Amino acid sequence: MQLVSIEIPDSAFAALRKTPDAFAREMRLAAAVKWYELGELSQAKAAEIAGLSRAEFILQLARFRVSPLQYTAEELTNELSSA
């Protein structure tokens, strides 16, 4: 596993009322959710990046108002026509 280091202003922790560790966990989750929403990651890989099980990740998607079902219109049409 790689360690990535970034600088965050101290005021960010206070603004979000989070400790540095909690802030880092939340940032990993937020990034994973956004990359999943954009279709750049699968649920499994996003969950891994977030440090969660896939089931836990799916539950967190609701908090961010992101659907666990990421289908394009074409994919949905293909799925429905195959049924």
What pLDDT, on a 0 to 100 scale, did the predictor assign at position 49?
97
> pLDDT per residue over 17-48, tens digit each?
999 999 999 999 999 999 999 999 999 999 99
pTM score: 0.81
> Would residue 44 count as lying in a domain?
yes
What pLDDT, on a 0 to 100 scale, did the predictor assign at position 72?
74
Check: CB of residue 41 under 8 Å from CB of residue 32.
Answer: yes
What pLDDT, on a 0 to 100 scale, did the predictor assign at position 28?
96
> Would residue 75 count as lying in a domain?
yes
Number of structural domains the chain divides into = 1
Owning domain of residue 45: 10-82
> Would residue 4 count as lying in a domain?
no
What is the rounded average pLDDT of the residues 59-81? 86
> Would residue 54 count as lying in a domain?
yes
> Would residue 3 count as lying in a domain?
no
